[in-house]
Chains A and B, each alone.
Chain A
Amino acid sequence: MISLVMSIVFGCAERKKADSGKSEIVENEMVAKDGDEQNDIPFPIYDFDGFEPLLHNNDGKTYVINFWATWCKPCLEEMPHFERINSEYDGKNVEVVLVSLDMPNMWKSRLEPYVMKNKIQSQVVILDDPKQNDWIPKVSEEWGGGIPATLIYNKDKRTFYERGFTYEELNNELKTFIN
């Protein structure tokens, strides 16, 4: 049971636009927005425009994109399975990306401590874009907005899952992409 006794601090989150355009997106690396008060957060912070290229890599790799938050208990329950996949498929053209939807006032207080304490090895990025009704359908038309949610894709295949996974379920799904 996670007790969320906190008040949401309005206005603490100054949303930043993606740094103007695709010219700055080099190969498969996205340009992280860096700036002032968010400098000490050790994860890249994107609005949806900045984040979106990660959903459309076309490089022969299979991407496992998991949407989660530290306040989402079922997300934390499946986190070890994504970590295990990340480790087992190391060097096998599979990229696990953990997309945190934590709110700005949780990045320092909850997200960073969680990642450090659990020694998360997969790539962690923050998606910070309140215009959810605009971007949720761009991730998947099927997505109602619930988390955990996971997108698995490569250049040939793309499937969205608005559900949690056991390790076996996740591994079996992933195998359908790489065999």
Chain B
Amino acid sequence: MLLIFVASFAVGFKVAAEHNLDDGYEIGDLADDFELKNVDGTMVSLSDYESAKGFLVIFTCNTCPYAQAYEDRVIALDAKYKPQGVPVIAINPNDPSVKSGDSFAKMIQRADEKGFTFPYLLDEGQKVYPKYGATRTPHVFLLEKTAIGNVVRYIGAIDDNYQNASQVEKPFVENAVNAMLAGNEINPKTTKAIGCGIK
């Protein structure tokens, strides 16, 4: 009896807490398109990708140590999944007037140094990340393109070991994309990680 009470309290608490903390998208929501400036000077929208099956929208930046730790893995994700129709779209959500290291010029420099193979967009005016509900960098949103729009399928971390790619036991994003492309249930659909707050 007591156990049941505690359990139901815990569940209710969790739902309430998640709702409070995350005003952005939840799994199953339709994600809005955007039009943001890429480091190559062009404007990029999801609708530009006519043959895509989905998107890995990754909020990341130049300056966060976690974002830096994942740069090579983001490049690898793009190399693996762009040919399968799920390209990486990276978005820097930070306000360059607050974090000068995340200025558009520095983004161009970083993309060049690292050889980014994907768009690296500036969320100018910071209008996109709050809609998605991104809270930290890096923060991944996997979208599936469907007849009714881009459906949010996974939200969270890239994998379970930021320190060492070779010691990853659970490649969350890869598992999610593989499941999505195979038409299988994604599990887990959300994961948590420490990241740098968006400024």
Bound together, the chains give a CA A164 to CA B197 distance in angstroms of: 12
What size tier do the contact residues of chain A reach? 20 to 34
**Which residues of the partner chain B approach A141 to less than 8 Å between Cβ atoms?**
10, 13-14, 17
Majority SS at the chain A contact face: loop
Task: Answer whether residue A103 sits at the interface, using C-beta atoms and an 8 A cutoff.
Answer: yes
Assembly CA distance A131 to B163 (angstroms): 10
B27 contacts A by Cβ under 8 Å = no
Which residues of B sit under 8 angstroms from A101, Cβ to Cβ?
194
Residues of B within 8 A of A10 (CB): 69, 163-166
Q: Mark B139-171, 1 if CB is under 8 A from A, else 0.
A: 000000000000000001100111111110010
Known pairs A8-B65, A71-B196, A130-B167. 6 more at Cβ < 8 A? Answer: A1-B100, A10-B163, A71-B64, A103-B163, A104-B163, A133-B156
Give the complex CA separation of A81 and B90 in angstroms: 36
B80 at the interface (CB under 8 A from A): no
Contact of A130 among B17, B135, B160, B191 (CB under 8 A): B160
Considering only CB atoms and an 8 Å cut-off, how many residues of chain B contact the other chain? 38
Partner of B157, one of A7, A72, A132, A146: A132
Q: Which residues of B contact A130 (CB under 8 A)?
A: 160-164, 167
Could you tell me the distance between the alpha carbons of A71 and B162 in the complex, rounded to whole angstroms?
A: 16
Q: Nearest chain A CB to B28's CB is how many angstroms away?
A: 19
Shortest CB-to-CB span from B49 to chain A, Å, is: 29
7 A-B pairs with C-beta separation under 8 A:
A7-B68, A10-B165, A11-B163, A71-B65, A130-B163, A145-B192, A147-B194
B81 vs chain A, min Cβ distance (A): 21
B163 with A144: CB separation less than 8 A: no
CB < 8 Å neighbour of B65 from A1, A4, A134, A147: A4
Please tell me if the beta carbons of B65 and A144 are within 8 angstroms of each other in the complex.
no
**Cβ of B1 under 8 Å from chain A:** no
Q: 8 closest A-B pairs (Cβ-Cβ)?
A: A142-B17, A130-B161, A8-B69, A133-B191, A136-B192, A132-B193, A130-B163, A145-B192
Please give the residue numbers on chain A whose beta carbons come within 8 Å of chain B beta carbons, in ascending order: 1, 3-4, 6-8, 10-11, 13, 15, 71-74, 101, 103-104, 106, 130-134, 136-137, 141-147, 162
Instruction: Return chain B residues, CB-CB under 8 Å to A145.
Output: 135-136, 192-195
Give the contacts of B1-34 with A (CB-CB under 8 A).
Answer: 10, 13-14, 17-18, 21-22
Residues A146 and B135 in contact in the complex (CB < 8 Å), given A7-B68, A103-B65: yes
Q: A15-B163, A133-B157 are in contact. Are A146 and B172 (CB under 8 A)?
A: no
Task: Give the complex CA separation of A160 and B136 in angstroms.
Answer: 18
Q: Could you tell me if A133 and B160 are in contact, using CB atoms closer than 8 angstroms?
A: yes
Task: Say yes or no: B192 contacts A132, CB within 8 Å.
Answer: yes
A4-B101, A130-B160, A162-B21 known; A144+B135 contact, CB < 8 A = yes
Q: In the assembled complex, how far is the CB of residue A127 from the closest CB belonging to chain B, in whole angstroms? A: 10
Residue on A nearest B197 in the bound complex, by CB: A146
* A96 to B109 alpha-carbon distance, docked (Å): 42
- Could you tell me the distance between the alpha carbons of A157 and B10 in the complex, rounded to whole angstroms? 15
Q: Name the B residues within 8 Å of A142 (CB-CB).
A: 13-14, 17-18, 21
Which single residue of chain B is at the shortest CB-CB distance from A71? B65
**Is B131 among interface residues, defined by CB-CB distance under 8 A?**
no
Q: In the assembled complex, which residues on chain A have CB atoms less than 8 Å from the CB atom of B100?
A: 1
B101–A1 CB distance below 8 A: yes
